[in-house]
Amino acid sequence: MRLKRILASAAIMAMATNAFGAGVQAQTPPRQDPVEVEIDQGVLRPLQIAVVNFAGQNGSDLSGVIRADLRRSGYFEPLDPNSFVETGLTLANAPNFPQWTSIGAQAVLYGSVTPRPDGRNDFGFRLYDPYRQCQLVAYRFTATPEQWRRIGHKIADLVYQRMTGEAGLFDSRVLFVSESGTQLNRVSRLTISDQDGFNPEYLTEGDEVIMSPRFSLNDPNEITYVALGKDYSRIYLYNLQTRRRESLGEFDGQVLAPRFSNDGTKMAFSIIRGGNTDVYVMDLSSRQVRRLTTDPGIDTSPSFSPDNSQIVFTSDRSGSARLYVMRADGSGQRAISRGGGLYTAPNWSPRGDLIAFTKQGGGRFSTGVMSPDGSGERSLSSSYFEEGPSWAPNGRYLMFARQNQSGDTRLWTVDLSGRVVSQSGYTGRGSSPAWSPLLDQQPTNLGGGGADACST
């Protein structure tokens, strides 16, 4: 019964169930209507940005991707292109600034798609501040024509970075368990899509129950997950590039909740054995396994700190599910959560400053964060049922699964302020989301220099 309580949310979810040269699948849009963002606490004044349709092949659609990414972040409000006074902007010229300030544009983005002799395209753009009348960013990507959607995400990342001072998050993917069928005959499949829900792809056939998918933060092509069959539970490693699947071996007991160390060299997970559940860690090169916890309580859901020196996990050794932190060798185990309710699904931020979690209490589930020492706990989202927060690569957003009373489960995101809550772009049923790291490192030289550049 204790294991059922501590893993209730995960069990309900599961059982109810790089470069530019890489090929691109058919663009299958999961959503055609405008992105809706709910701002449910306080007042947020998003920055008014004019995203002009790019000239050239797929230029209008590319601009649409940028607008949707920026709008979903909650910190930008793209202006209606029908309100634009100036038309025909080219990369050779600066905007007519008064014509943009007259419609309230606080930033102007425009660009073009230009074919190259080698069959690729140049995607160039400029970002201006029309009030200070200076250039913020100028950059050019080169990619195959089919990569236009991903280029849109990369441009949105640079705009987000320049305007907020934070790293971007849009050039990333999401791994999750998609669900189909009825309540009594539900099929779960491991699925991957772009972070906005486009280009969904099934990685498993639906003949196994899939749980706990996770990315390696060291390599966005490496993932892990648990597959449950009729008489087995296995942890798999799967390479998204080679499509090679490899089992970590057979274990005496049921395996749960695998997660990579942040350098990709180890895997932490739990094993249910002899009526007890403990945390183990495996060295992936030698496949040697070490037991980290020995308490009679249920210890599960381990997550490494960014420097791999500590692990946060869930345990009910005190009588109810709480969050604990220990050193990576299992020593120094101590409770950090202090409030009432049941704490599950801890996830250490890639920035190292926060731990996300799911909390059950008062007849509701909430997604929250706290400092690694347990201080500063706060709730970001609350509903009938939600579970499994996963960090965006910049550590500023969380994706989680939210279920309504009819059993319909969808993917949602929330920012760290708790004010910007939106449903993910993927429109199907899904649970157990895992957000990838950025697929490429962002450029460091954004081309903002020159006589017309903004000083800050």
| pLDDT tens digits along 271-312 | 998 889 999 999 999 999 999 999 888 999 999 999 999 999
- The structure tokens 């489960």 sit at 409
pLDDT less than 70: residues of the chain: 1-44, 182-183, 447-452, 455-456
What's the sign of the alpha-carbon dihedral 371, 373, 375, 380? positive
Work out the angle between the directed axes of helices 148-164 and 59-73 (0-180°, nearest 10): 40
Residues 6+ apart with CB under 8 A from 57: 113, 115, 121, 145, 148
pLDDT of residue 266: 96
pLDDT in tens, 117-153: 999 999 999 999 999 999 999 999 999 999 999 999 9
Other C-beta atoms closer than 10 Å to the C-beta of 144 total 17
Indicate left, alpha or beta for 146 from its phi (over 0: left) and psi (-120 to 50: alpha): alpha
CA dist 87 → 61, 81, 82, 110, 451 (Å): 17, 10, 10, 10, 24
CA nearest to 402, candidates 426, 432, 379? 432
- The structure tokens 């190259």 sit at 116
pLDDT of residue 120: 97
pTM of the model: 0.88
Burial class (CB in 10 A: 0-12, 13-18, 19+), 269: buried
Mean pLDDT over each residue of the chain, to the nearest integer: 88
